[in-house]
Structure 1
Amino acid sequence: MYDSVFELHSYWAFAALGLLLIATLNAFAGLSSKRAFTPKDRKISMIALIFSHIQLLLGIVLYFVSPYLQTAKDAGMGAVMKDSTLRLYLVEHPVVNIIAIVLITIGWSKHKKTEDSQAKFKKIGWMYAIAFLLLLSRIPWSAWLS
């Protein structure tokens, strides 16, 4: 089960990151051109939000079926924190990515509470951009691209 969830989580990440980048660029393009926030802009941002949340759910499932979790149980949290690989997979990657998904959700929620198009683009653009950078910072690149 671990291998199939791992593969799905890895491939879904490409789509989630790509859509998040598109939504971020779209928001900043709308902000810089001072155009109205349209239903198309809403859909782009919402699809990025949905894909990001699905990625989070896949990650949570992966976390609990991961052999790293059993290693952590056997070795203890002190050993996890001393091992950079275990720390990345069991602490840094999940925590930072959950923070990123929270920021995406906050950006989406805050945009709904305002009527001004520029404020909508600004809220989505900045929150999605920060989340995108956080996600990129904690990807285990060596495992993901191999």
Structure 2
Amino acid sequence: MWQQEGVGEQSVKELYGGPLERRLAVVERIGMVGPVAERVATGLDDGMGRAVLTLLRSAAQPVMADLGRGLADAARRPGLALIAMNDVDAASGTIAQHRAAAGAAGAAFAELADVGHWWPVENPRPAAAALEEFRGRVEGT
């Protein structure tokens, strides 16, 4: 919806506008809580809304398909694809899509159990462990 003119602007206005309490409710509804949620909600303003629309509209087809064709170039360096398992099918695509993208890029794949889209705030430990393990494999330790 955010890639559509008019509809996207209305959605951003509803999500990113209004009093802080309403913006905080939006942030909490997507799984972010505590002091970080308050800081993020404070930053949800017209400028952020425009940035989100610009980013998502820049990813409209055929741009994403073109970028996907370049994934094989990433295989020149070691890579690790992280997927927050509680985010699957919610915001970031399916496990199959993540595995396909990782495979096309020649990247390893780590499933982060019990965390969602905002894993850096919820619990960064699963990602840190996956990154440490990956680093050890790459460095041969």
Which interval holds the TM-score relative to the shorter structure? under 0.3
Q: Which has the higher helix share?
A: 1
Q: Which has the higher contact order (CA 8 A, sep 6+)?
A: 1
Larger strand share, 1 or 2: 2
Relative to the length of structure 1, the TM-score reads 0.25
User: Structure 2 length as normaliser, TM-score?
Assistant: 0.26
